Amino acid sequence: MRKKLLFTLGIIVVYRVGTNVPIPGVDYRNVQTCIDNAEANSGLFGLVNMFSGGALLQITIFALGIMPYITASIILQLLTVVIPRLEALKKEGQAGTAKITQYTRYLTVALAILQGTGLVATARSGALFQGCPVASQIVPDQSIFVTVTMVITMTAGTALVMWLGELITDRGIGNGMSILMFISIAATFPSALWAIKEQGSLAGGWIEFGTVMLVGFVMVGLVVFVEQAQRRIPVQYAKRMVGRRSYGGTSTYIPLKVNQAGVIPVIFAASLLYIPALIVQFSSSTAGWATWIEANLANPGATAHIVLYFLLIVFFAFFYVAISFNPEEVADNMKKYGGFIPGIRAGRPTAEYLSYVLNRITWPGSLYLGLIALVPTMALAGFGANQNFPFGGTSILIIVGVGLETVRQIESQLQQRNYEGFLR
């Protein structure tokens, strides 16, 4: 276990070094000038910048970070429900899972090329930092050769990040991609919290800093409480005789989490809301519809943005739960192995009961996601916070979820070797 932890820490160091190495063709001094410019605005790219650990706006070799892999994984998971071939591969066990993982890698590289091209085009046009006087001089040489070199470098960086995550999964403590995402988000905490302190006016900013920290701890406690909550559906397996031996007769349960969808609905909703603002930014239109989008959908504090964001989170929570948990498949598997829910007949009544319970517990889960995503935006606006604040919904959900999962991974590996435990 000591070797696995040290190996994981070594990979994390390599990853953090890569997030600070600029790619060829970028004027690093102009990039730093725009980052330090208080009037520069990068709101559209703030969420992706958070997932890359601040590497996106610095245009480093790991600028795209792990986002292409996350996007590819989500796309493959959605396509599994639609394409019968992928669904058949999923049911084949380890061999089918390996094939889907290979498809995910190919799609990750394709998305990295697409996103890298978009980032280079945005940096060349000066739209990456709105309001920065030297934003158009970030890429001095705009030749085709330099552009292709930048895209290839960022694509290779994404492939390297994907490989580092798989190394942590295979030779480290496991859950590699999630740990890299955890590190990327956690790396933005110190600078963001210190910026809150510097912007504060009460007692040198320490009162604002302490208030934000207190709110953050309360939110972490709430997220831990809800993330651990689950509805346990009891399942009884009937006894059956095979020769002289009896099998079954055991009792177990199906754990249905209150937040079954995780952080996916928040990411979906934020990405969908960014699309209209991105269209307006690249079109440079001054028409009435463009002005309305900038004033409402592109402004996190606008009422229309808040209401639409909340409704999209609730919708995607139900949508993702519906495609990720199939009550009919679970009921068929239970029936095949002689399992039943006490008081519920096997087969279709069991599937209907599971669907009913799942819909009931998804409501509080979706409302909780919406509140966690919106409360920091509204309550902490006075401290200069925005939708990319460290204690915002997306970052807290990922930090807490990955932290709990990592502790469980370490606990399970310790118990395999008869250790007393990680937290004792």
Whole-angstrom distance, CA of residue 299 vs CA of residue 254: 42
Residue type, 183: I
Identify the pLDDT of residue 153.
Answer: 93
209 phi and psi, to 5 degrees? -60, -45
- Enumerate residues 6+ apart whose C-beta is below 8 A from 318: 359, 362, 366
Identify the pLDDT of residue 85.
Answer: 87
- The tokens for 389 are 């604040």
Q: What is the DSSP string of 261-305?
A: TTTHHHHHHHHHHHHHHHHHHHHT--SHHHHHHHHTTS-TTSHHH
Within this chain, domains 1-187 and 201-424 share the same CATH topology:
yes
Q: Is the dihedral of CA 34, 38, 41, 47 positive or negative?
A: positive
Identify the pLDDT of residue 96.
Answer: 85
Identify the pLDDT of residue 39.
Answer: 46
How far, in whole angstroms, is CA 74 from its chain's centroid?
10
Whole-angstrom distance, CA of residue 41 vs CA of residue 132: 8
Identify the pLDDT of residue 372.
Answer: 84
Identify the pLDDT of residue 421.
Answer: 55
Whole-angstrom distance, CA of residue 340 vs CA of residue 251: 10
Identify the pLDDT of residue 74.
Answer: 83
Identify the pLDDT of residue 363.
Answer: 92
Whole-angstrom distance, CA of residue 34 vs CA of residue 122: 14
Strand partners, 240: 247
Whole-angstrom distance, CA of residue 286 vs CA of residue 277: 13
Identify the pLDDT of residue 420.
Answer: 59
Whole-angstrom distance, CA of residue 212 vs CA of residue 131: 28
Contact 15, 242 (CB under 8 A): no
Question: Which of the listed CATH numbers 1.10.579.10, 1.10.150.570, 3.40.50.2300, 1.10.3370.10 matches domain 1-187?
Answer: 1.10.3370.10
Identify the pLDDT of residue 390.
Answer: 60
Give pLDDT tens digits for 306-324: 888 889 999 989 988 888 8
- The tokens for 65 are 């970070």
**Host H or E run for residue 114:** helix 94-125
Domain 201-424 has CATH 2.120.10.30: no
Identify the pLDDT of residue 44.
Answer: 54
Q: Domain residue spans in the chain?
A: 1-187, 201-424
Whole-angstrom distance, CA of residue 291 vs CA of residue 26: 32
- The tokens for 237 are 């397996």
**Which stretches of the chain score pLDDT less than 50?**
38-41, 387-388
- The tokens for 266 are 């928040």
Identify the pLDDT of residue 222.
Answer: 85
Contact 240, 338 (CB under 8 A): yes
Identify the pLDDT of residue 97.
Answer: 84
